[in-house]
Structure 1
Amino acid sequence: MYELDAKLTHALNSVAGTSQLLNSLMIWVSAIGVPLLVLAVAGQWWRRADRQHNRHVLLAAGFSFLLGLAFNQLILLFVHRMSPYDAGVTHLLIARSANPSFPSDHATAAAAIAAAFLLHGMRKPGLWFLAAALLVMVSCVYIGTHYVSDVLGGALTGIFAAMLVRALFRKGARADQWIIGRLEALLDS
C-alpha cells in the first residue's frame, strides 16, 4: 500500500517545478486556501435566504472544522508519519514543517466545511466548497508536504467530524438558538 501511495504522491509532485506560475498558484492555495474558506463561510452569515437554516449550517461548519482538527490531534498521539520530502518521495517547494505528515490538517479543515454544507442540504455552496477543498488537497501533495493518503485521511477525519456534528447538533435546539442569538446580537447590530 505504501508503494502505491508513494507513486501517486511522486506523480502529483513531479509536475512541481515545470511551471513557475503553477508553482506559485499551488503554494498560494496551500498557504491561504483554508483561511479563505473560513472567510467564505463567515461571509455567508449575511445571506438572506432561509436565514435560520443558513446560520445553523455556518455553526455546524465551524464545529465540524474544530472537531476535525481535534480528532487530528488525537491521531497524532499515536501516529507519527515522516513527511514525503524527508523520505525522498517529493521535492519540497516551501519551508520544512515540524508537523507530522498524517493526517493533513488542511484537508481536514477544507473537507469538514464542504461536508457540513452538503450534509445540511446546501448543495450549491457545498459543491463550491468541495471544489475548493479538492484544490487545497491537491496543492498539499503538489508542493511536497503530504502523501496522497495524508490528504485522504485528513478528508475522512473532516467528513467524520461533519457527520458527527450533523447527528448531534440539531437545528432549533436550545444550544443552536442560544449561539445564533448571541452572534446575531454581536454581528447584526
Structure 2
Amino acid sequence: MYELDASVTHSMNGLAGHSAAIDFLMIWLSAVGVPLMVLAVVVQWWRRADRSHTRHVLVGAGLSFLLGLALNQFILLFVHRMRPYDGGITHLLIAPSADPSFPSDHATASFAIAAAFLLHGMRRAGFGIAAAAGLIAFSRIYLGTHYVTDVLGGALTGILAAIIVRAAYRENTRIDRWVTGIL
C-alpha cells in the first residue's frame, strides 16, 4: 500500500514546477484556503434568509472544524508519519513543517466544514465548499507536503467530526436557540 501511496503522491507532486502561475496559485490556495473558508462561514452569520437554520449550520460547521482538529491531535499521539519530502518522495515548494504528515489538518478543517453544510441540508453551499476543500487537499500534495493518504485521512477525520456534531448538536434545542440568537 505504501508503494502505491508514494507513487501517486510523487506523480501528483511531479506536476509542480512546470508553471509558475499554477505553482503560485497552489501555494496561495494552501496558505489562505482554510482561512478564507472560515471567513466565508463567519460572514454568513448575518445572512437574512432562514436565519436560525443557517446559524445552526454555521455553529455546526465551527464545532466540526474544532472537533476534527482535536481528533487529529489524538491521532498524532499514536501516528508519527514522516513527511514525503523527508523521505525523498516529493520536492517541496513551501517551507517544511515540523509536524507529522498524517493526517492533514488542512484537509480535516476544510472537509469538516463542507460535510457540516452537506449534512445539514445546505447542499448548494456544501458542494461549493467541498470543491474548495478538494482543491485545498490537492494543493497540499502538489506542494509536496503530504502523501495522498494524509489528505484522505484528514478528509475522513473531518467528515467523521461533522457526523458526530450532527448527531450531538440538535437544531432548536435550548442551547441551539441561545447560541444562534447571539447578535
TM-score computed with the length of structure 1 as normaliser: 0.96
Shift of 1:49: 1.4
2:100 aligns to what SS in structure 1?
coil
Shift of 1:43: 1.3
RMSD: 0.6
Q: 1-side partners of 2:76 and 2:93: how far apart?
A: 24
Q: 2-side partners of 1:103 and 1:70: how far apart?
A: 12
Q: 2-side partners of 1:41 and 1:128: how far apart?
A: 12
Shift of 1:178: 1.6
Residue in 2 that maps onto 1:148: 148
TM-score computed with the length of structure 2 as normaliser: 0.99
1:133 aligns to what SS in structure 2?
helix
The residue type paired with residue 46 of structure 2 is W
Residue in 2 that maps onto 1:187: none
1:71 aligns to what SS in structure 2?
helix
The residue type paired with residue 119 of structure 1 is L
The correspondence of residues 87-102 of structure 1 with structure 2, limited to 5 A, is 87-102=87-102
Residue in 2 that maps onto 1:177: 177
Q: 2-side partners of 1:99 and 1:157: how far apart?
A: 17
Shift of 1:130: 0.4
Gaps of 5+ in 1: 185-189
Residue in 2 that maps onto 1:70: 70
Q: 2-side partners of 1:89 and 1:41: how far apart?
A: 35
- Off by >3 Å, runs of 4+ in structure 1: none
Residue in 1 that maps onto 2:128: 128
Residue in 1 that maps onto 2:52: 52
Q: Percent identity?
A: 68
